Amino acid sequence: MAYLEISLTPIIWVADANGQGPRYGSPGRQFAWSPDGKRLAILGYSGVARSSSVNTLQIIDVTNSRVRTLARASDLMRSLTGNSSADSALTHLAWSQDGTLLAVAVDWSGGSAVVVLDTSSGAARARWRWEWTRASFPALDWSNDNRHLAVRIMPDSILESSLGVLDILTLEQKSLPGRNLAWSPDGKWLAVTQDPSGLLITTPDLSAMHWLDTPNCFDVTWRPK
């Protein structure tokens, strides 16, 4: 059965594609379906007040309407900074291609981080931290091998964004200039637009690169297999 998600801030609902059977989800602002379409991840609130920070990551199993909390901002802050009471918010999330991992961006007054969580246990599998104030992560994009995460970082103090490729196994971070990005279907290549000059195609470890001279290149997508 197909599902349609409808966000009525600050409540997220799940309904059938024909508009029937609306079901209560959870207070929240951002949501993302798992690759198999059976779970819905929500960045929500511990309360329903609109002024509250987005501080809870929940997963809804749409097959049985079960809701469970995978992580709280306070717990992530304790592991990142040692201070669970620091003002913080969860800002972005992205499922790995196999649905076993969730990447979530954490933002607080003294910096930002990306934490990768196991979707079954909630255990942190990897984390990266930046000492930038109120940096946001408008793009979190997994490779098909579930090992690499491409992140676009836009700190408040810098006009231009930068890109990073995060390795879940080694915890390395590779940085490169660019604006938009897309993984190839086999996960072996990452295409990065470097407007207005052209398009860079690189392996996740940046060991091999190809350059396409395509002026005014602002976006990119791969043809499916």
Tens digits of residue pLDDT in 93-103: 999 999 999 99
- pLDDT: is 58 or 216 the higher one? 58
Q: How far is CA 5 from CA 8, 35, 54, 113, in A?
A: 10, 15, 19, 28
Q: Is the pLDDT of residue 49 over 60?
A: no
Mean pLDDT within 170-198: 87
Contact of 92 with 140, CB cutoff 8 Å: yes
Query: Domain limits at 203?
Result: 178-225
Considering its fold, how many domains does the chain have in total? Answer: 2
Place of tokens 């003002």: 87
Q: Are residues 172 and 137 in the same domain?
A: yes
Mean pLDDT within 15-40: 82
Residue 38 has what pLDDT?
Answer: 92
Mean pLDDT within 185-192: 89
pTM: 0.85
Residue 86 has what pLDDT?
Answer: 72
Residue 99 has what pLDDT?
Answer: 95
Q: Are residues 138 and 53 in the same domain?
A: yes
